[in-house]
Amino acid sequence: MSYARLIEATGRVNDFLNAGSILSWDARTMMPKAGAETRAKQLATLAVAARNLLCSDEMKRALEGAEAEVAGKLESSAEARIVAQVREAISYHERIPTELLRRKTELGAAAHEVWAEARENADFSIFAPALTTMVDINREMAQAIGFEDHPYDALMYRFEPGTTTAGLSTLFARLRDGMIPLVRAIADAEKPRSDFLFRDYPVDAQMEFALQMAKRIGYDTDRGRLDTTVHPFEVSFTRNDVRITTRVATDYMPMSLFGALHEAGHAIYEQGINPAYTRTPLATDLISLYAVGGVSFGAHESQSRLWENHVGRSRAFWANHMGDIKAAYPGLLDDVTDEEFYRAVNRSEPSFIRVEADELTYDFHIMLRAELEAKMVDGSLEVAELPDAWNTAMKDYLGVDVPNDAQGVLQDVHWSSGQIGTFCNYTIGNIMAAQLFETATSENPDILTALDGANYTPLRGWLTDNVAQHGRRFTRDELLENATGRALDPEPYIAHLTRKFTDIYALS
């Protein structure tokens, strides 16, 4: 009975969080700007209500009874995992004083304005005082949450449980060793032709083609929809209502297409979660308080990157779909072969803007941010020293000179809202994507044959069986062990990038 009560009560937490997700989807797609102030309050109210219900006496009573009821179950059973996760989530949230959360929320609202002004003026000193306070608040949060080695570990826990600063540092060093020689070699190599990507592509045709390709790889639009936003995103309310957005530039067509494929990858993950997990903690992130079924932010990113990069940016994909894209844009691509198109959408060029970075250079933007965040959090880097540290790392990693603070240290919104510790999930996602794709295709050559024939069902089936269906039942590392036989391993990713870019750029 207690277990049933626990499921009922956590279902209501999921309802609050989903209501918040719907308000947030609306805010980002439909809402007039003037609604922003009230909407922020509504979202905060729902998040607090969800947290308070999670930490309520009612929940704790149900949890205690449920723990006794599932005591005989296997530790890896869905029931035992649910009970353990609720216990951990309550403990996590109770460690963070509400007073600290209130200060963080209030500063977040104010700091956003200050950051926007600083960015407009390309002047970091305007933002520095707010960021200093934000870093202090995050350091207090880390102390409250607790950690073994490094305070940054406590902050990453919310987004990527199990990730440590020491582990990231080893991972990053290996990536740098594998990738810097490629970046340097490509800088001197002849660039593939890409002029045709910048032609005048009609907005309606772009949205139609983006949706056509998202559906083609398996995004189910009977349980979803595609809209246009400034920043593309995916949001799921249940596995039966998973929405995506993309952005459109009339003079740069790949943005809408790969935005849609990326978000469709996230959506396919959520649409594939075991229906029995709906409204339970196995489809609710009770730590980050987000009604999502993916097991970590990095695991989620692995699915979007896999479909976007390993499928959508593959040679086979364009050998198969060049006819489709030519039909979608009559007359615009008549002078382009599938091989030229494939090379153009894989063009690599170091830039100082993260969101515009290509597959090969993206991770350097992430390493730089994660490393600087960790140093600010442990006090070894003062906020005042941040712009210099940023520009130096950009030069070291990508060989580029940052022209000003707006295009350097001030480019991301994350710090203004107080979010520190999220960036690593992008790189972990890239690594996981390559590891999963390598296992799927090497153990099942039929999957590769099917991809060569534009049949995406076998790959999607493997990903559903090995990743999506489990929701949050297994940890990220358990999921990887079960699917690939080993923990997070950067080698398949480095091998993939080396193979692909050596070929495209004819490097020896």
Q: Which residue has the tokens 């870019």?
A: 501
Q: For the segment 363-422, give every residue that binds Zn ion (CB under 5 A).
A: none
Query: 259 or 408: whose CB is closer to Zn ion?
Result: 259
CB of 425 to Zn ion, least distance (A): 9
CA-to-CA distance for 25 and 30, rounded, in angstroms?
Answer: 8
Query: 153 or 234: whose CB is closer to Zn ion?
Result: 234
- Please give the backbone phi and psi of residue 342, each rounded to the nearest 5 degrees, phi first: -55, -45
Total Cβ atoms within 10 A of residue 337: 12
Alpha helices in 233-314 (DSSP H): 254-271, 297-305
Query: 85 or 304: whose CB is closer to Zn ion?
Result: 304
Strand 234-238: give its sheet, edge to edge.
224-228, 241-246, 234-238
Distances, alpha carbon 13 to alpha carbons 85, 180, 231, 269, 441, in Å: 14, 45, 27, 22, 39
Count of residues engaged in binding Zn ion, rule: CB under 5 A: 1
Q: Segment contacting Zn ion (CB under 5 A): 190-198, 243-251, 304-312, 480-488?
A: 304-312
Q: Segment contacting Zn ion (CB under 5 A): 23-31, 62-70, 269-277, 299-307?
A: 299-307
Q: Segment contacting Zn ion (CB under 5 A): 96-104, 271-279, 298-306, 415-423?
A: 298-306
Among the listed residues 238, 274, 304, 411, the single contact to Zn ion using CB under 5 A: 304
CA-to-CA distance for 92 and 330, rounded, in angstroms?
Answer: 55
Nearest position to Zn ion, beta carbon = 304
Burial 223-238 (b: 16+ CB within 10 A, else e): bbebebbeebbbbbbb
Q: Any catalytic annotation for residue 263?
A: yes
CB of 427 to Zn ion, least distance (A): 12
CA-to-CA distance for 424 and 417, rounded, in angstroms?
Answer: 17
CA-to-CA distance for 330 and 123, rounded, in angstroms?
Answer: 46
Q: Is 245 in the site for Zn ion (CB under 5 A)?
A: no
- Catalytically annotated residue among 263, 359, 371, 373: 263
Pairing of strands 224-228, 234-238: unpaired
Q: Segment contacting Zn ion (CB under 5 A): 222-230, 302-310, 318-326, 359-367?
A: 302-310
Query: 259 or 418: whose CB is closer to Zn ion?
Result: 259
Q: For the segment 80-99, give every residue that binds Zn ion (CB under 5 A).
A: none
Query: 304 or 391: whose CB is closer to Zn ion?
Result: 304
CB of 294 to Zn ion, least distance (A): 10
CB of 266 to Zn ion, least distance (A): 6
Handedness of CA 299, 497, 423, 220 (dihedral sign): negative
Q: Is 427 in the site for Zn ion (CB under 5 A)?
A: no
Residue 98 CA neighbour count, 13 Å, CB half: 7
x/- mask, Zn ion, residues 257-296, rule CB under 5 A, reads: ----------------------------------------
Query: 232 or 418: whose CB is closer to Zn ion?
Result: 232
Q: Segment contacting Zn ion (CB under 5 A): 17-25, 297-305, 362-370, 499-507?
A: 297-305
Query: 163 or 304: whose CB is closer to Zn ion?
Result: 304
Query: 296 or 304: whose CB is closer to Zn ion?
Result: 304
Beta bridge partners of 281: none
Read off the amino acid at residue 362: Y
Contact in structure between 267 and 219 (CB atoms under 8 Å)? yes
Q: Is 302 in the site for Zn ion (CB under 5 A)?
A: no
CB of 309 to Zn ion, least distance (A): 11
CB of 245 to Zn ion, least distance (A): 12
Q: Is 236 in the site for Zn ion (CB under 5 A)?
A: no
Alpha helices in 279-337 (DSSP H): 297-305, 315-328
Distances, alpha carbon 316 to alpha carbons 251, 449, 461, 478, in Å: 26, 10, 19, 31
Collapsed DSSP state (helix, strand, coil) of residue 234? strand
CB of 24 to Zn ion, least distance (A): 16
CB of 465 to Zn ion, least distance (A): 22
Enumerate the active-site residues: 263
Instruction: Note the residues at the interface with Zn ion (CB under 5 A).
Output: 304
